[in-house]
Amino acid sequence: MVSDCSTTKIAQVVREYEGVRRKHAIGEMVKALRIEAPHVVASFGEDAAVIEHNHEALLLAADGIWSRLMEADPYWAGYCSVLVNVHDIAAMGGKPIAMVDIFSMPKNTHTHELVVKGMHDASAQFGVPIVGGHLHPDAPYSVIDVAILGSARLDGIIYSNKAEDGDRIIAAIDLVGRVHPSCALNWDSVTMKSAAHVRAQIALLEEIGRDHLVTAGKDISNPGLIGTIGMLLEVSGKGAEIDLGNVPKPDLAANHMTFEQWVKMYPGMGFVLTAKKENVDELIRRFAAVGMTAREIGTVDSTRRLRVKYDGNEAEVFDFITNGITCLTPEES
């Protein structure tokens, strides 16, 4: 059972989720900032920019942590500032190299100690060092932003905008975890795992890119599973139908969680990918080998609309022609 929620309800929940709506401003910023450069292979619309350098690819990304998470749990905010950046490099089929941070904090607070501890623990666990940055020690607020450098083979990069008609959509998530006690929309499947375990999961994406098993991919981020699929489809100029019954999920009742909550979750380790039908079984096998559950949940089409179905019912989540998520067109990504 998905839940007693209708497809119409799930579509509305995803559409109106703040994690989705706060992406709407991206398109206008891209138009204001974009400058073409011959060595920049890809930039806006991707999880990391791809920069050609000496016949290889440098991957550059940055992410900031939602202030609500900082207020709820400074340690988890610090940990996630590293985690989300490592995910961005992995999602591109790359290897994370190093990070820098910008940390703003008010005077006379212990928040910074917890944030730094979280950053340190995640950095050590994933084996990606923090090598510098900038500190504002007298700011009127607490904010942490991290930028990361990675590398990849130019012919092994996993882009967001390359999904093709007929591709299968695969969701891969580590379901062994818990709802984080400080954040009901975070699925923590990482803090309790060994360094070897999480590093193997990250390295798998580099392997998948190198072996050309997928056409496109993204890490599941703030917009949740369906919202992230929507972002991938939007920049690919495609649509899809998602079968909610096939979505990987933990035991919802045992975790005191609804399906409506699950589709909005930021998972500790989760990715969406598109691939040719003949590669689906191999992808499922490889993810299982590193402790992740991967399932085929939909098919890409040319409609430029994302729809969800369950038990004979169907509803439209996004019409990218009239109302997208990031408002980035395929040409702008």
Q: Which of 154, 181, 204 is the last residue of a domain?
A: 154
Q: What is the pLDDT of residue 323?
A: 80
Residue 31 belongs to some domain of the structure = no
In a domain? residue 37: no
Residues 117 and 231 in one domain: no
pLDDT of 181: 94
Per-residue exposure over 295-315, b if at least 16 CB sit within 10 Å of its own CB, e if not? bbbbbbbebbbbbbebeeeeb
* Same domain for 58 and 170: no
Considering its fold, how many domains does the chain have in total?
2
Claim: this prediction has a pTM higher than 0.75: yes
Instruction: In whole angstroms, give the CA distance from residue 130 to residue 121.
Output: 11
In this structure, are 134 and 67 located in the same domain?
yes
* 110 domain-assigned: yes
**209 is a domain residue:** yes
**DSSP secondary structure string for all residues of 290-313:** TT-EEEEEEEEESSSEEEEEETTE
Classify residue 271: in a domain, yes or no. Answer: yes
Per-residue pLDDT of the chain (333 residues; tens, 9 = 90+): 565 468 888 878 777 766 666 555 555 555 555 557 677 777 677 889 999 998 899 999 999 887 778 888 999 999 999 999 999 999 999 999 999 999 988 876 788 899 999 999 999 999 999 999 998 888 888 889 999 999 999 999 999 999 999 999 999 999 999 999 999 999 999 999 999 999 999 999 999 999 999 999 999 998 999 999 999 999 999 999 999 999 999 999 999 999 999 999 999 999 999 999 999 999 999 999 999 999 999 999 999 999 999 988 999 999 999 887 776 666 555
CATH of the domain at 128: 3.30.1330.10
- Tell me: do 51 and 112 sit in the same domain: yes
Model pLDDT for residues 51-84, shown as the tens digit of each residue: 999 889 999 999 988 777 888 899 999 999 999 9
The domain that contains 290 carries what CATH number? Answer: 3.90.650.10
98, 128 contact by CB (below 8 A): yes
- Tell me phi and psi for residue 37, to 5 degrees: -145, 130
State whether 206 and 71 are in the same domain.
Answer: no
268 within some domain = yes
205 with 57, same domain?
no
On whether residue 70 sits in a domain, the answer given is: yes
Last residue in a domain, options 119, 154, 189: 154
Residue 203 resides in a domain = yes
Distances (CA, A) of 175 to 157, 168, 169, 194, 199: 26, 21, 18, 15, 17
Non-local (6+) Cβ contacts of 89 within 8 A are 47, 48, 59, 61, 95, 96, 148, 150
User: Are 83 and 190 within one domain?
Assistant: no
Q: Which domain holds residue 146?
A: 47-154
Angstrom distances, CA of residue 151 to CA of 34, 52, 82, 120, 223: 22, 10, 17, 22, 26
**Is the same domain home to 230 and 315?**
yes
Domain-ending residue, one of 122, 154, 186? 154
279/235 same-domain check: yes
Are 32 and 46 in contact by the 8 Å Cβ rule? The answer is: no
Residues 237 and 277 in one domain: yes
Assess whether 272 and 216 both reside in one domain.
yes
Do 225 and 142 lie in a common domain? no
CB 124 within 8 A of CB 113: no
